[in-house]
Amino acid sequence: MPQGLFITGTDTEVGKTVVARLIVRALVASGVRVAVMKPVAAGAVMTAAGLRNEDALGLMAESNVEAPYATVNPYCLPAPVSPHLAAREAGVRIDLVQLRAHFAALDAMADLVVVEGAGGWFAPLGDDEFIADLAAALDLPVLLVVGLRLGCLNHALLTVGAIRARGLTLAGWIGNHIDPHFARVPDNLATLERHIGRAAIATVAHAREPLATGGLGPTATAALRHAATCKHLT
């Protein structure tokens, strides 16, 4: 049975990559062999080694399981737009069967795999498939990154409802302080806890360089390890 976490967010630009990197860093520090995957990345630059995406490279920098770039990021698309538009522009079709095969290769190398999605839960991958379909194909517990800003309650609760309606496991949620001027943070966190049914695994403080100053504590790390190996959370 595959083990790992699928990281999604309440929207684009809510800090999924920052949180995913902090998760990988914490798990690695606790002695876990962690592979990473960014199945679809829209927005890349050409390098001597080929197209490369900054988020995928950042995840790889945290991992302690070495894997080829093409396995970590099978669909590296040049245009920084919605994945389905970037794929269309590049003349490719995102194939979930191929993505499952790449994931299986990573799963065989590691104790668990941290997979970061693209955009939000219903970001389109093609005419009829979405990030939600990718998460279902990989059959991993889903961890939700909530960008703490005005509107996050609606976005978070809609996403949680959609994850559960799909029959997937909600591994938990992490609040990310992306807006330093967001008012009533404790009240919003309490509202999310009440309606989701559990407290945040962690909250990430707002910082200019969160990867340089932030980290996840031992309690959060233990919760993540448990979530990544359990398919029966609610």
What lies within 8 Å, CB to CB, of 14 at 6+ separation is 145, 146, 147, 176, 178
Q: Side-chain half-sphere of 70: how many Cα atoms within 13 Å? A: 3
Look up 38 and say whether it is catalytic. yes
Q: Can you spell out the DSSP letters for 171-194?
A: EEEEEE---TT-S-HHHHHHHHHH
Quick one: residue 170, left, alpha or beta (phi over 0 = left, psi -120 to 50 = alpha)?
Answer: beta
Whether 56 and 69 have beta carbons less than 8 Å apart is answered as: yes
25/13 Cα distance (integer angstroms): 21
Residue tagged active-site, from 16, 38, 155, 177: 38
Q: Look up residue 69 and give its DSSP letter.
A: H
Residue 93, phi then psi, degrees to nearest 5: -115, 130
191/187 Cα distance (integer angstroms): 6
Q: What Å distances lie between residue 211 and 26, 121, 195, CA to CA?
A: 12, 24, 29
96/84 Cα distance (integer angstroms): 13
Tokens of 79: 């245009």
Active site residues: 38
